[in-house]
Amino acid sequence: MIKINEIFYSIQGETSYSGLATVFVRTTGCPLRCIYCDTKYSYVEGELMSANEIISKIATYHTKFVCITGGEPLAQKEVLFLMSELCQLGYLVSLETSGAKSIEKVSDGVKVILDVKTPDSGEGQSFLMDNLKWAKPSTEFKFVICSQKDFEWSEGFCRQYDLFKKYSVLYSPSYEQLSSRWLAEKILEKKSSARLQLQLQKYIWSPDTRGV
Ligand code: SF4
């Protein structure tokens, strides 16, 4: 059984699947406490569901895109089985993970979005370095940038581990801390190879921008 916080249908706002109608499966629980976390409600709330029940619910939405998110999905071992089953059924599965848990046993067909927590996230020591070994060419590395210090640190990390050459690297501004313009200018100024990623869902559904 897997403790599930919510299952919902929306537009994917991040990653290379951005803009696609997707079913989101949000698992309950996370070992981290990032200062910008916008899903604190997923830390404990949820109900137990079997993999079959989750798959049946997903099937009602009639899309092939499924995003497993959290919380931290890999905090529950059964999520590995769920993702493997979904891949076998022909779904295009993405996994959003904090980087603090091993991705070694994630099915080959799953696109992994691997967060690397920056120093100003408050969880800067949490990245499991072995995950660099398990990353596949399809893995996307994501950095949520909270400050100039985070930007410099992320650039250093990507260069030290050759991420720009091997993978897609996404930089997102921490939504209430940095403007997207500031980060865009930094990427240009430093000739960074990172892709600026805006959280599309926040622009679509925010009361300030609704209908824009
Ligand atoms: S890893 Fe994600 S869910 Fe966990 S505290 Fe950080 S932002 Fe929140």
pLDDT tens for the chain, 212 residues: list them. 999 999 999 999 989 899 999 999 999 999 999 999 999 999 999 999 999 999 999 999 999 999 999 999 999 999 999 999 999 999 999 999 999 999 999 999 999 999 999 999 999 999 999 999 999 999 999 999 999 999 999 999 999 999 999 999 999 999 888 999 999 999 999 999 999 998 787 778 776 654 44
The pLDDT, as a whole number, for residue 210 is 46
Does the Cβ of 44 fall within 6 Å of ligand 1?
A: no
Using CA atoms, how far apart are residues 33 and 19, in angstroms rounded to an integer? 28
The pLDDT, as a whole number, for residue 208 is 61
Q: How far is the CA of 30 from the centre of ligand 1 (A)?
A: 6
Using CA atoms, how far apart are residues 178 and 198, in angstroms rounded to an integer? 11
Using CA atoms, how far apart are residues 163 and 41, in angstroms rounded to an integer? 32
* DSSP helix/strand/coil, 201: helix
Angle between helices 51-59 and 78-88 (to 10 degrees): 40
Cβ pair 145, 171 in contact under 8 A: yes
The pLDDT, as a whole number, for residue 106 is 98
The pLDDT, as a whole number, for residue 209 is 52
What is the atom index within ligand 1 of the atom nearest the CA of 121? 6
What is the atom index within ligand 1 of the atom nearest the CA of 71? 3
Does the Cβ of 140 fall within 6 Å of ligand 1?
A: no
Q: How far is the CA of 65 from the centre of ligand 1 (A)?
A: 22
Using CA atoms, how far apart are residues 79 and 63, in angstroms rounded to an integer? 20
Cβ pair 10, 63 in contact under 8 A: no
Atom 8 in ligand 1: residue holding the nearest Cα: 37
Which residues have CB under 8 Å from 205's CB, separation 6+? Answer: none
Atom 6 in ligand 1: residue holding the nearest Cα: 34
